[in-house]
A and B are shown apart, each in its own frame.
Chain A
Amino acid sequence: MATEQFTGAEIVIKALKDQGVDTVFGYPGGAVLPIYDAIFQQNDIKHILVRQEGGAVHAAEGYARSTGKVGVVLVTSGPGATNAVTGLTDALMDSIPLICLTGQVPTHLIGNDAFQEADTTGITRPCTKHNYLVRDIENLSRTMHEAFYVAQNGRPGPVVIDLPKDVQQGKSETYLVPEDVKHRSYRPKVDGESEHIEQAVEALSKAKRPIFYVGGGVINSGNRASELLTEFVRLTGAPCTTTLMGLGAYPGTDKQFVGMLGMHGTYEANLCMYNCDVMVNVGARFDDRITGVIDQFSPDSTKIHIDIDASSINKNVMVDIPIVGDAERILEKMLQIWKAKKHSLDAQSAKSWWKRIEEWRSKDCLGYSQDGSEIKPQHAIKRLYELTKDRKPYVTTEVGQHQMWAAQYFHFDEPKKWMTSGGLGTMGYGLPAAVGAQIAHPEDLVVDVSGEASFMMNMQELGTISQYNLPVKIFIVNNQWMGMVRQWQQLLHGNRHSESYSDSLPDFVKLAESFGIVGMRCEKAEDLDRMIQEMIDCPHPVLFDCQVTKEENCYPMIPSGAAHYEMLLGPEDLAAKPISEEGMVLV
């Protein structure tokens, strides 16, 4: 009896299906034509054709972050693979699970400088969680399933599978189903050390000035982790702050939420961090945007750090109680112990802690004044939030001032609604990420909060949006500057605006129209609400050019090399607190 034979390309498709993949973001080329041929001959997996491979990776990131599933990318060899590198690095920094299939020249040509050959596994080794070059079709199905396991388990990340063309075209009877594949060595710890969990609960129960400091790890852990966190924080009555990556892990409109912390975080969040006596870090990594100058970081606190990646512990900040494991499991146990022991925080201390927090809050550090017809960028974003919040939108951003304002003025009550390039800070992320989010959630409102400079980094993806009629709303906060660069030049380089002006901008309305997309331009504050509403009501993609005050700065700001208490609240503070020379060398 003849057994069934599959080509390598068929094995790839079969493995994707068995992994529950419904969408692949990609761009064809010579070295992946067999896989494109296999895609053509089936209907289970939808292929989304982007306009540049970088867009495919960010789109897969948006898809992954808005669903919690693995994002899948397919690109050709050589330039296809090298174009994917930025997105892979972005996904590595922000712990996004991706599989990136790259074509490769046939095995017998590897190493010969063949046409469109690149050492893809060599190039992507430092920017992936793991990568594979499949030289033998017999290993193909195993490698595919292993890659999915690696991408999702432990700290998630991108995995590249490099597929030589002869492997795609070869034939084999070997197909292993996912259940038959077990990784030889990779077994991340998920449960956390019981003893440390007990200690952590004990320390928290004695806290007088506690704070929960929450990062993207909670979102990666899954919705249940957010629910447990929310229950725990409410039960204790402690304040909670999140990182840029953690927005939505705890309800943003809750009264115990003190806002985002860090370089452009709120006054109250940063002062909570500085003054707390017990810090519970859940799934955040003491990134330099958060800590400010390390030796002044939260000097008097007992630090509890829950992280699935042991290498995040004691990397930047030495902690007292490390717990290595999955946020969901550990929060579950902490909550259990807290309840079983009938713990509660000392009421008197909690009251005086909250009194101080309310005082900090009363500074209204995100306040601004919108007067006259000129639109303040903060106002534009705040109105965008107010007018869209009932629709519970998925929001992506680019990188710059608009990104920070979006983080400050949008509030997310649920995880997976907010997608921004945190670790790498990749301009051009938001537009393709919005494509991915919209593909995953066709009925939902998806908004890319953009800057005019960032937009132009991946604006070719307007073609993708148009082709699939994705009703993405692109909201360009157009200040005609690389605003964040200009702000740093003003603060650190004597206001010399070297190359930071957005010159020769296109007419965004006409640009949109040339792609068959609705274009709108808003120049007056009095038109803002009406036009935003019009944008939201439009069932088609819209590019919204929001012309705002040109030289507005983003506050609060902890300048590089400064401590949390040295935050600048506005232009008046800047004169009073000049930035140190040590601070200037930092990024």
Chain B
Amino acid sequence: MAPMETHIESRTIAVLVDNEPGVLARVIGLFSGRGYNIESLTVTEVDVSHGLSRITVVTSGTAQILEQIKAQLARLVPVHRVRDLTVEGTSVERELALIKVAGAGDKRVEALRIADIFRARVVDSSHDHFVFEMTGKSDKLDVFVDLMQPLGLIDVSRTGVVAISRGPKAL
């Protein structure tokens, strides 16, 4: 018998589901009902003609719990496929953030300078605010948000992680 693991790791899981009413509630209810973590969750229809939605969920737990999470997801009736993008080959992960910074003077200049370094785009501005748009891996977004904190950060909206496997194969 293998010993129980205690090491906690993070995984990005892609779930292809029928786009039917209640399917998101089913997935979220599964996580809350069984006490699993959701670090990020995104969902949108990805195949209109077949009525399929794709859920990307970032979760964490011991190896045993992570296997449970995948098995529990897979047994939901409207679920077509469950893939662990973290362990099954490599993948590309992205998140988009809109970040509002208000202020004037030196801080404003500094915010713009840092945004430039991070390749954040200005999508809205006035004399006393900017809205930056930024895409990248979540940790890069975290760093940028942290840097904006002392420079007048007032609002953040993030999409959560979307991910796709590298290489020519589909989910």
A interface residues with partner B (beta carbon < 8 Å): 121-122, 125-126, 129-131, 133, 150, 154-155, 183-186, 295, 299, 301, 303, 309-311, 313-315, 317-320
Whether the pair B25, A186 counts as a contact (CB closer than 8 A) is no
3 closest residue pairs by CB, A with B: A311-B71, A130-B77, A185-B80
Whether the pair B29, A150 counts as a contact (CB closer than 8 A) is no
Inter-chain contacts of A184 with B (CB < 8 A): 18, 78, 80
Whether the pair A310, B22 counts as a contact (CB closer than 8 A) is no
B23-66 interface bits toward A, Cβ cutoff 8 Å, 1 = contact, 0 = none: 00110010001000000000000000000000000000000100
Whether the pair A133, B21 counts as a contact (CB closer than 8 A) is yes
Cβ-based interface call for B90 (8 A): no
Whether the pair A320, B1 counts as a contact (CB closer than 8 A) is yes
Inter-chain contacts of B77 with A (CB < 8 A): 129-130, 150, 183, 185-186
* B50 nearest CB across to chain A (Å): 9
Inter-chain contacts of A154 with B (CB < 8 A): 75
Inter-chain contacts of A303 with B (CB < 8 A): 1
B interface residues with partner A (beta carbon < 8 Å): 1-4, 17-18, 21-22, 25-26, 29, 33, 64, 67-68, 71-72, 74-75, 77-80
Whether the pair A126, B33 counts as a contact (CB closer than 8 A) is yes
Chain B's closest residue to A186 (CB) is B77
Chain B's closest residue to A302 (CB) is B1
> Known contacts A311-B72, A313-B71: does B78 contact A318 (CB below 8 Å)?
no
Q: Pull 15 A–B residue pairs with CB atoms less than 8 Å apart, ordered by A.
A: A125-B22, A126-B29, A130-B77, A155-B75, A184-B18, A184-B78, A185-B78, A186-B77, A310-B75, A311-B71, A315-B68, A317-B1, A318-B2, A318-B3, A320-B2
> When chains A and B are docked, how far (Å) is the Cα of A311 from the Cα of B68?
6
Whether the pair B18, A185 counts as a contact (CB closer than 8 A) is yes
> When chains A and B are docked, how far (Å) is the Cα of A303 from the Cα of B2?
11
Whether the pair A125, B25 counts as a contact (CB closer than 8 A) is yes
* B41 nearest CB across to chain A (Å): 17
Inter-chain contacts of B33 with A (CB < 8 A): 126
Whether the pair B25, A122 counts as a contact (CB closer than 8 A) is yes
Q: Other than A295-B4, A315-B68, give 17 A-B pairs with Cβ distance below 8 A.
A: A122-B25, A125-B26, A126-B29, A126-B33, A129-B77, A150-B77, A154-B75, A184-B18, A184-B80, A185-B18, A185-B77, A301-B1, A311-B71, A311-B72, A314-B68, A318-B1, A318-B3
> When chains A and B are docked, how far (Å) is the Cα of A122 from the Cα of B80?
22
Whether the pair B80, A310 counts as a contact (CB closer than 8 A) is no
Interface SS majority for chain A: loop
> When chains A and B are docked, how far (Å) is the Cα of A317 from the Cα of B22?
32
Inter-chain contacts of A130 with B (CB < 8 A): 77-78
Number of cross-chain contacts by CB at 8 Å: 58
Chain B's closest residue to A300 (CB) is B1
Inter-chain contacts of B18 with A (CB < 8 A): 184-185
Chain B's closest residue to A183 (CB) is B77
Chain A's closest residue to B51 (CB) is A184
Chain A's closest residue to B67 (CB) is A314
Inter-chain contacts of B75 with A (CB < 8 A): 154-155, 309-311
Whether the pair B71, A318 counts as a contact (CB closer than 8 A) is no
Whether the pair A299, B74 counts as a contact (CB closer than 8 A) is no
* A206 nearest CB across to chain B (Å): 17
Which of A183, A184, A309 gathers most chain B CB within 10 Å?
A184
Which of B21, B26, B67, B71 gathers most chain A CB within 10 Å?
B71
Inter-chain contacts of A311 with B (CB < 8 A): 68, 71-72, 74-75
> When chains A and B are docked, how far (Å) is the Cα of A409 from the Cα of B4?
37
Inter-chain contacts of A295 with B (CB < 8 A): 4
> When chains A and B are docked, how far (Å) is the Cα of A353 from the Cα of B119?
72
> Known contacts A185-B77, A303-B1, A318-B4: does B29 contact A125 (CB below 8 Å)?
yes
> When chains A and B are docked, how far (Å) is the Cα of A150 from the Cα of B79?
13
Inter-chain contacts of A186 with B (CB < 8 A): 77-78
Whether the pair B1, A314 counts as a contact (CB closer than 8 A) is no
Inter-chain contacts of A301 with B (CB < 8 A): 1
Inter-chain contacts of B2 with A (CB < 8 A): 318, 320
* A185 nearest CB across to chain B (Å): 5
Inter-chain contacts of B1 with A (CB < 8 A): 299, 301, 303, 317-320
Inter-chain contacts of B71 with A (CB < 8 A): 310-311, 313
Chain B's closest residue to A299 (CB) is B1
Chain A's closest residue to B64 (CB) is A314
> When chains A and B are docked, how far (Å) is the Cα of A130 from the Cα of B21?
12
Inter-chain contacts of A125 with B (CB < 8 A): 22, 25-26, 29
> When chains A and B are docked, how far (Å) is the Cα of A155 from the Cα of B77?
11
> When chains A and B are docked, how far (Å) is the Cα of A84 from the Cα of B3?
41
* A304 nearest CB across to chain B (Å): 12
Chain B's closest residue to A146 (CB) is B77
Which of B17, B18, B68, B77 gathers most chain A CB within 10 Å?
B77
Chain B's closest residue to A318 (CB) is B2
* B3 nearest CB across to chain A (Å): 8
> When chains A and B are docked, how far (Å) is the Cα of A285 from the Cα of B17?
27
> When chains A and B are docked, how far (Å) is the Cα of A554 from the Cα of B99?
64
Whether the pair B79, A318 counts as a contact (CB closer than 8 A) is no
Whether the pair A310, B4 counts as a contact (CB closer than 8 A) is no
Chain B's closest residue to A324 (CB) is B71
> When chains A and B are docked, how far (Å) is the Cα of A320 from the Cα of B21?
39
Whether the pair A318, B64 counts as a contact (CB closer than 8 A) is yes
* B94 nearest CB across to chain A (Å): 27
> When chains A and B are docked, how far (Å) is the Cα of A296 from the Cα of B26?
35
> When chains A and B are docked, how far (Å) is the Cα of A184 from the Cα of B25?
19
Whether the pair B68, A121 counts as a contact (CB closer than 8 A) is no
Inter-chain contacts of A131 with B (CB < 8 A): 22
* B83 nearest CB across to chain A (Å): 15
> When chains A and B are docked, how far (Å) is the Cα of A154 from the Cα of B74?
12
> When chains A and B are docked, how far (Å) is the Cα of A299 from the Cα of B77?
35
> When chains A and B are docked, how far (Å) is the Cα of A244 from the Cα of B73?
28
* B167 nearest CB across to chain A (Å): 25
Inter-chain contacts of B64 with A (CB < 8 A): 314, 318
> When chains A and B are docked, how far (Å) is the Cα of A106 from the Cα of B80?
31
> When chains A and B are docked, how far (Å) is the Cα of A315 from the Cα of B71?
10
> When chains A and B are docked, how far (Å) is the Cα of A130 from the Cα of B18?
13
> When chains A and B are docked, how far (Å) is the Cα of A231 from the Cα of B29?
42
* A384 nearest CB across to chain B (Å): 39
Chain A's closest residue to B80 (CB) is A185
> When chains A and B are docked, how far (Å) is the Cα of A15 from the Cα of B113?
68
> When chains A and B are docked, how far (Å) is the Cα of A299 from the Cα of B17?
40
